[in-house]
Amino acid sequence: MKVAVYARVSSEDQQDRGTIENQLEFARKYCDLHQLNVVEWYKDNGITGTIPLDEREDGARLLKDAYAGQFDLLLVYRLDRLGRSARIILNSVYELEQHGVTIRSMSEPFDTGNPNGRFMLTILAGVADLERETILERMWHGANRAARSGKWLGGIVPYGYRTNQEGYLEVNEDPLPDMDISEADVIRLIYRLITTQRYSTIKVADYLNSLGIPPSYKKDGRQVKRGKRKVNTAGMWSPSRIRNMVVNSTYKGIHHYGKRTTKERNLITREVPAIVSEEVWKQAQQVLKDNHIEADRNSRRKYLLRSLIKCEQCGRTYVGVSYPGSKRKPKAYYVCGGKHAYRGPLNEKCRSKNVPQQWLEDTIWNQCVAFILSPGEAIKELSASMEEKRVVKTDLSSEKELIEQTLQEKDREKQSILDLFRKQLISNQDVELQLQKIRKEQSELRKRINEIDQERQSQSWVDEQFNSAEELLNNLREKLAKEPTFEDRRAIVKSLVKEVRVHTHLNETGRKVATVFVKFSFGNDTLRTDRDSSIQPT
């Protein structure tokens, strides 16, 4: 009888401890004892048992040799060496038996050469599957407990951090090779450039590259996969990399464990050492948002009212679009974003009307200029509006303080639950259920804090830079006197226009008409109907 031996280990750690050699040594003694002639040895080092046999390097070779009839009996140390799930084990056995190969375990009482052995095979395959699921469940609960305590459970450590001997994140203040700056200093520099200098991610990347600061892959000598090969990176900072770092909440001291898994699981939010304050982190998010809104590098035209116009039909923001007009000459319009966004088969695209850019911008700009040059009694409205914004900001600050106090209470609740678990008064399942409820409540509270911060930051720069309406108007008159640039005009419009809403309706002839409602900070609200309806594309 021609005999083959198959051995497998599931991790590099097992490989380093020589586990596969133990299997092979056992097989040699077994074959000597039973006087079996081994014609081939198949070894898969560091291969998980969840991968089908034909997708493993030596597993595929084994099947190929079985098809060629090169052996009659396959020996395995244990059945779980063929696979870690009943489906994979039974599929592997079926394929081998189809080509006359008998499978025998050297440490378990079964042999597929007889009916009792095939029956035992089915039972042992189920046991292997159960064992794997039990191990995974224990590991899952253990990983969750470790994650809540703040341990870093594998994966690339964020730039600016390192793990200590206990496995916890700590800020990396060690200088970079041949430099007087640490990784943590680089993170602080990135946030400072964005918040104080209002740098774009492109400018930040260019600046770091000019300083010769190595990114993480370059610093650690890691490679990236290109197809089937790993290659060195260019060692350059990219704008997308900068953005990903800036929006990473880890740098403000909050890490969300479980975001990258493909399995369904609850996120675990835990505290880690912060490199920047929460205030600086939030300022950076607002700058990124402002830069995105204001960016016009991909636009052929500049739109004065970008991000200020809302559609009353669907609530989306109007965007600038250019269409071919008379004699193919481009003509610009403000078009509802809902006309181009797919929202599912049950939601049609918005049927709102397009508004001519030139007409709408001229209308609003002329009213702003008229007010700046001759405010009259309307200056009282502007003063009241500025004061109203300050009051709203104060109320929002009070609400935020209350929510933050509630979040602290939630943290104390979590600690109480963990204390009960340590005293063995509640089970693992009870802990998971209660912590899941608290995490959901905390998520809602943090969501509201983000809304408050966005609402406060979205307030016009007016109430922060100027103490009175007269001071603001003097500043705006200076801009007008110097033949204002587009950026000046944009600043003036943003300071004086609260909102622009477009309502689309049908006139008596059945044609669509856009009614534009403009709300100004100085109170002279206007209601106008577009006048180019006969030539607008719809």
Active site residue 10: yes
Pairing state between β 169-171 and 161-163: antiparallel
Nearest to 319 by CA among 327, 331, 332, 330: 332
> Side chain identity at 166, as an amino acid letter?
E
Task: Name the DSSP letter for residue 175.
Answer: B
Mention every residue, 6+ apart, whose C-beta is less than 8 A from residue 165: none
Q: In what order do the strands lie in the sheet with 309-311?
A: 309-311, 497-506, 512-520, 526-529
Write down the catalytic residue from 10, 92, 105, 352.
10
Which residues, including other chains, have CB under 8 Å from residue 146's CB and lie 6 or more apart?
Answer: 153, 167
Contact between 357 and 299 (Cβ < 8 Å):
no
Contacts of 71 (CB under 8 A, 6+ apart): 2, 3, 4, 39, 40, 65, 101
In terms of Cβ atoms closer than 10 Å to its own Cβ (0-12, 13-18, 19+), residue 33 is exposed
What type of residue sits at position 139?
M
DSSP annotation of 322 reads E
Cα 41 to Cα 31: distance, rounded to the nearest angstrom: 12
Contact 8, 81 (CB under 8 A): yes
| Residues written for the chain | 538
Nearest by Cα to 364 from 522, 535, 473, 532: 522
Q: How many CB atoms lie within 10 A of CB 420?
A: 14
Instruction: In whole angstroms, give the CA distance from residue 179 to residue 171.
Output: 17
Q: What angle do CA 353, 488, 483 make, to 5 degrees?
A: 110
Token couple for 95: 């394929």
| Neighbour-count burial of 333, counting CB atoms closer than 10 A to its CB (0-12 exposed, 13-18 middle, 19+ buried) | buried
**Is the Cβ–Cβ distance between 520 and 367 less than 8 Å?**
yes
**Would you call 327 exposed, middle or buried from its count of C-beta atoms within 10 A (0-12, 13-18, 19+)?**
exposed
Do residues 84 and 49 lie in contact, with contact meaning Cβ atoms separated by under 8 Å? yes
Q: In this structure, which amino acid lies at residue 530?
A: D
Dihedrals phi, psi of 170, to nearest 5 degrees: -145, 150
Phi, psi of 205 (to 5 degrees): -60, -45
Strand partners, 2: 37
Token digits of residue 87: 């489906």
The set of catalytic residues is 10
